[in-house]
Structure 1
């Protein structure tokens, strides 16, 4: 790692910790049996619980600015799933949606959480929906943001690349990172160039790890035939400019889950909660008030 990218990595880590503290989010580690998860947690301990799950190759940071708008009156738990971020990677751990959902269930047990509103973006949405099927009594509601886990009626740009034999998530050189990064969001938050360079270098260095996670995660059956079994009130949230998961996928989730509501953002990409945190958090709070009104 060059001196410039090493500086970028240090600046990113320092800024992330400072931002988390500013939002009232505390860092901790929780043993979930086969691994230990890094977790951000904030808000009143006796308040309704919201669990926020990130996507493939992402980490808990993508939810922080969204969580900022919830911590006043919710207990917010943001884990980094196995293989990601500070939770670390160990080959052979198992990274499928059922495996990750089982760890989230264990995490809830270890934290004394009987029931939670569970939100997931991308891969995290697949994990959240799997958790709702496996433990319907533990999931008070679902937020599925640009979620994978069902067959898409129309292929996304990323899916077309994968079909052609080029996986846009698996990079051999930092020079390819800007193209991939542009696919992840339509409205990315500002990141200094030297910090983005550090992110790119770290991303490329983890190629083999990310390939194992990808193989595990995308090697399991989708939930198309089981959506009708989901009983949790569900909000489907989607960025219309998503280049990783086609916007037509939102309708599959909405049509399949009884009573699901949908909110779409014409100007957002794959991560609306990061691209427009206040607006998406306001919509989510309104949904929570409908499905679980406060006394």
Structure 2
């Protein structure tokens, strides 16, 4: 009944978002009632790339171009974001690890390596902990996992009824730009094309309310189920931007205290998304770690 009271306004149709931002090699696969958007590029060991909150597979464009000669890279738009859009069931326990299990089965991937940024880091460590037989190595980039104070825009999405009310909101582009610039250690690196991309994805039909449901779910569960980290024995690399204004750099030690086979690297001149700000050096560090002979 409440859904009927909060009609979605200002939404950008999916087909228009695709017209503006779809890749020539974009693919789609039907999983859990969604047409999941992904790219599958290169040959070699499988590396799955998982984006953060209100982001999409586009965040990995530089990494894909740099690493495609060494790996079979699969980047995807996670449920509730990007072209994939809202999950039909909303948010529920183990949503992303169960989804990734079905996704890898559908693509006949028996073993892979993972790299996840922010919310994609949560997806990575939970999947690695619940399905260790499928995961060979893990990279966590400014990953969600422990308590932190979210930016004000995300904080408003944690309020009661926010998943419904967010349907009626058109986020002012100026305010959205101010929040997005906080993601970068050097705000001058935020290009206009990136701002337009992320704004369009935010306004894609269904994404405002589904994104709010993710924030609301995390708030209601008081964070994340870190117990799954105990099951991670795979070699793990924690990457972090020292200038991260969203999730503090002290979380590096927390991850490495929970995950046994863990090491870390900190980038002094990067914020919450080092793979976008410093793609060459972060991709090189990822390549060396993933190809090194440090298997379980």
Q: TM-score under structure 1 normalisation? A: 0.80
Q: Which of 235-244 and 213-222 deviates more?
A: 213-222
Find the aligned partners of 2:146 and 2:110 in 1 and give their Cα distance: 28
Tell me, what secondary structure is at the counterpart of 2:272?
Answer: coil
User: 1:83 deviation in Å?
Assistant: 1.3
Find the aligned partners of 1:289 and 1:201 in 2 and give their Cα distance: 36
Q: How has the CA–CA distance of structure 1 residues 233 and 159 changed in structure 2, closer, same or farther, with 3 Å as cutoff?
A: farther
Query: CA-to-partner distance for each residue in 1:120-152, whole Å, 9 max, x for gaps?
Result: 10011101111011100000011111111223x
Partner of 1:35: 34
Partner of 1:76: 73
Partner of 1:185: 184
Partner of 1:67: 64
Q: Which of 233-242 and 93-102 deviates more?
A: 93-102
The total of aligned residue pairs comes to 272
User: 1:217 deviation in Å?
Assistant: 4.2
Q: How has the CA–CA distance of structure 1 residues 243 and 257 changed in structure 2, closer, same or farther, with 3 Å as cutoff?
A: same
Which segments of 5 or more consecutive residues in structure 2 lack a partner in the other structure? 1-8, 160-165
Find the aligned partners of 1:53 and 1:287 in 2 and give their Cα distance: 17
Q: How has the CA–CA distance of structure 1 residues 198 and 222 changed in structure 2, closer, same or farther, with 3 Å as cutoff?
A: closer
Tell me, what secondary structure is at the counterpart of 1:85?
Answer: coil
1:233–1:291 Cα contact (<8 Å) kept: no
Partner of 2:142: 146
| Pairing 1:270-289 to 2, within 5 Å after superposition | 270-289=272-291
User: 1:32 deviation in Å?
Assistant: 1.9
Q: How has the CA–CA distance of structure 1 residues 235 and 96 changed in structure 2, closer, same or farther, with 3 Å as cutoff?
A: farther
| Pairing 1:225-244 to 2, within 5 Å after superposition | 225-244=227-246
User: 1:225 deviation in Å?
Assistant: 3.6
2:63–2:283 Cα contact (<8 Å) kept: yes
